[in-house]
């Protein structure tokens, strides 16, 4: 893959992953959609969520398609719209819901608001609110892999708005100079909060910026999970082989407001209608049905299974205890218990 041309000009024909992987991807996409629906449209409105809620409705294919084939020892730096990454890496529904409810059983034991969660035992790195800051963090993780001679890879997610920040450019530059094994994945959902894309950057595509940093940049349909899987698989293999980072721009759309308290009144209605026709889950269901891998009845049964799993997790999380006041100062600073 040459670095002086955009990779989208040299993309080979897409092949499909194994059938089991395809069905696993459908499960995680639907699980992500239903879990975030319950959090944003049910639990938040019932006053059961601590803090704001930010979801990735309509963007489910990106995290699922890029994380599904990662190794356990790879690392992921997700953003607040990449719930699928948490689920695939093994964070349980109960832990996630407890985190959103501020319970002691949440990922941060009730210390932080809902979206700043991670689990280093699963190589899930909690993200920074200023999302561009994830990029230098991922570059550092990749550099540590390289210095140790490990063939591990880090995936780093962010939105289009993050790419207009200085820390994003500094991190991308450092990653490319040191040829670290990091795949940078942009959820280009067209809006940085309420600011449309054309008001925050002068280039047409985020991936166009990759060439300036000497790395491949590829633009794909972020609502096509097979395209996401294909591009991510190639970039991961390239990074794991020691050829350095790559940037993948996933064109998609945020099918809700910036957060649960935002009605997205600044977004033209026709944009929602345009992207509704390109819903990633409905498209994937149609593809699997056409290939004979599933049926409408099986899809309905899968939805019922997911509903049951989430119902059980909600009931368990709601019964979990809140943290004790004294817990606020525990696990915050190093207390010198290790040699």
Give residue 10's pLDDT band: very low, low, confident or very high (50, 70, 90).
very low
Report the range of poorest mean pLDDT among 25-39, 149-163, 222-236, 321-335: 321-335
Does 138 score more than 80 pLDDT?
yes
CA nearest neighbour of 215 among 186, 183, 237, 170: 183
pLDDT at 1: 37
Tokens matching residue 213? 């940093």
Rounded CA separation 256/57 (Å): 7
pLDDT at 157: 97
pLDDT at 111: 86
pLDDT at 339: 54
pLDDT at 328: 82
Q: What are the tens digits of pLDDT across the range 16-62?
A: 899 999 999 999 999 999 999 999 999 999 999 998 899 999 999 99
Q: What is the mean pLDDT of residues 113-139?
A: 89
Q: What are the tens digits of pLDDT across the range 169-187?
A: 999 999 999 999 999 999 9
Report the range of poorest mean pLDDT among 15-19, 118-122, 165-169: 15-19
Extract the runs of DSSP E, i.e. beta strands, from 4-137. 75-77
Q: What is the CA radius of gyration of the chain?
A: 20
Of residues 71 and 6, which shows the higher confidence score? Answer: 71
pLDDT at 21: 96
Q: What is the mean pLDDT of residues 330-338?
A: 75
- The mean pLDDT of the chain is 93
Does 213 score more than 90 pLDDT?
yes
Q: Give long-range contacts, CB 8 A cutoff, 24+ apart: 45-48.
A: 45/260, 48/101, 48/318
Q: Are 86 and 97 in contact (CB under 8 A)?
A: no
Q: What is the mean pLDDT of residues 216-222?
A: 97
Look at the pTM and tell me if it is higher than 0.75: yes
């Amino acid at each position: 893959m040459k670095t002086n041309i955009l990779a989208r000009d040299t993309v080979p024909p897409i092949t499909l992953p194994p059938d089991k992987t395809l069905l696993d991807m459908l499960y995680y996409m639907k699980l992500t959609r239903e879990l975030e629906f319950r959090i944003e449209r049910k639990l938040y409105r019932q006053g059961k969520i601590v803090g704001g809620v930010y979801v990735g409705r309509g963007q489910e294919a990106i995290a699922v398609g890029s994380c599904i084939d990662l190794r356990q020892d790879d690392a992921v730096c997700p953003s607040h719209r990449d719930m699928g990454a948490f689920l695939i890496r093994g964070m349980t529904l109960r832990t996630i819901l407890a985190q959103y409810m501020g319970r002691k059983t949440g990922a941060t034991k009730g210390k932080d608001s809902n979206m700043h969660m991670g689990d280093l035992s699963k190589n899930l790195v909690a993200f920074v609110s200023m999302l561009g800051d994830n990029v230098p963090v991922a570059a550092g993780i990749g550099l540590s892999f390289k210095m140790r001679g490990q063939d591990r890879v880090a995936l780093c997610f962010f939105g289009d708005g993050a790419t207009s920040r200085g820390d994003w450019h500094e991190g991308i530059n450092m990653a490319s100079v040191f040829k670290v094994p990091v795949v940078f994945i942009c959820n280009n959902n067209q809006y940085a909060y309420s600011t449309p894309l054309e008001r925050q950057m002068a280039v047409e595509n985020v991936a166009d910026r990759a060439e300036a940093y000497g790395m491949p940049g590829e633009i794909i349909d972020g609502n096509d999970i097979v395209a996401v899987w294909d591009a991510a698989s190639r970039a991961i293999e390239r990074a794991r082989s020691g050829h350095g980072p790559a940037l993948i721009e996933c064109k998609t759309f945020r099918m809700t407001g910036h957060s649960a308290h935002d009605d997205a009144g600044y977004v033209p209605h026709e944009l929602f209608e345009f992207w509704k026709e390109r819903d990633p889950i409905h498209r994937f269901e149609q593809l699997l049905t056409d290939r004979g891998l599933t049926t409408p009845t099986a899809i309905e049964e899968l939805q019922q299974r997911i509903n049951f799993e989430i119902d059980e997790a909600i009931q368990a999380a709601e019964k979990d205890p809140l943290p004790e006041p004294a817990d606020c100062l525990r696990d915050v600073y190093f207390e010198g218990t290790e040699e």
